[in-house]
Amino acid sequence: MARERYHHGDLRTALLDAAEALVRERGADGWSLREASARTGVSPSAAYHHFASRDALVHALSERVLARLGDRLIHACAAAPSQGADPLQRLIALGRSYIRWAVEDPAVARLVFRAGATDPDSVVTPHPHEVLGAELDRFAAAGGLSAAARPGAEFTVWAALHGLAVLLVDGLVHTDDERAADLQVERLVRAVLAGLTQEETPSAGWPALRSAHTRRLAGRQPGSEPTTRGKR
């Protein structure tokens, strides 16, 4: 199927699509810019009108995937069972969705995890980290978590979920039964949040962790324009 027009129309998106498909077929690293261009029906150099480098393409793809994941998490929370009024159901659903996403699309997940922090100037909306934060706020507001335990709790929950996802994706942990991962997520979320709830030491005043995503928001002064601060 040859391209009809000289101008592609939306080559940027088409290249991202091709790269994403190649990642699925050959793994996070087993593909090249040339291959993605060829698959799109375009010369290798055409990509440079849309991406400064191969690396820029990888980051753009990673951000697109992250935003999709954010959406997915929001929907998973909304679809969580609410009978019984267990306020943890939403967070368990979020966790399951995160782990399932990683397990179902491991090569793409690896790409995203390896790409590291998102570009401080890029906008990933909704960012998975924001979604988790909002759900924890909601959970705390429902009385699941004391005000003292809330700060930084997202790193504890995120670490636990991310760890399970990575262990499964990298094959360090294995399961014969699909349900095992789901059950493990539930156990993990319940354990972490039960543990945080009965914390004795308040976490306020501790030196804090910050996510790369939070750093972007925090670095921006109120009313200031987006800058390239943070780049070298």
Partner DNA sequence: TGTACATCAGTGAACGCGCGTTCACTGATGTAC
Query: Do residues 145 and 153 touch, judged by C-beta distance below 8 A?
Result: yes
Where do contacts with a copy of itself occur on this chain (CB under 8 A)?
29, 113-114, 116-117, 152, 155-156, 158-167, 170-177, 179-181, 183-184, 187-188, 190-196, 198-199, 201, 203, 206-212, 215
CA distance 201 to 218: 26
Q: Please answer whether residues 121 and 228 qualify as being in contact, where contact means their C-beta atoms are separated by less than 8 angstroms.
A: yes
Name the residue nearer to a copy of itself (CB basis): 11 or 112.
112
Q: Minimum CB separation from DNA for residue 54, in Å? A: 4
Q: Which of these, 42, 33, 57, lies nearest to 1 by C-alpha position?
A: 42
The CB-of-134 to a copy of itself minimum distance in angstroms stands at 18
97, two tokens: 């969705």
Burial letters 210-220, b for 16+ CB under 10 A, else e: ebebbebeeee
For position 16 contacting DNA by CB under 7 A, the verdict is: no
42 touching DNA, by CB under 7 A:
yes
Nearer to DNA, 5 or 179 (CB): 5
Candidates 48-56, 83-91, 98-106, 158-166: pick the segment binding DNA (CB under 7 A). 48-56
* One of 13, 21, 39, 46 touching DNA (CB under 7 A): 46
- Pseudo-torsion of CA 26, 32, 37, 40, nearest 10°? 10
Nearer to DNA, 49 or 75 (CB): 49
Of 7 and 179, which has the nearer Cβ to a copy of itself?
A: 179
* Residue number, 44 or 163, with CB nearest to DNA: 44
Of 160, 149, 24, nearest in space to 96 by CA = 160
Q: How far is CA 215 from the centre of its chain?
A: 16
82 makes contact with DNA (CB under 7 A)? no
| C-beta pairs of 32-40 under 8 Å, 24+ apart in sequence | 33/57, 40/8, 40/11, 40/14, 40/15
Q: Binding residue for DNA (CB under 7 A) from 27, 44, 163, 226? A: 44
Position 48 contacts DNA (CB under 7 A):
yes
Are the C-beta atoms of 208 and 215 separated by less than 8 Å? no
In the complex, the smallest distance separating the C-beta of residue 108 from DNA, rounded to whole angstroms, is 17
For position 11 contacting DNA by CB under 7 A, the verdict is yes
Please give the residue ranges that form the binding site for DNA (CB under 7 A): 3, 5-9, 11, 31-35, 41-46, 48-50, 53-55
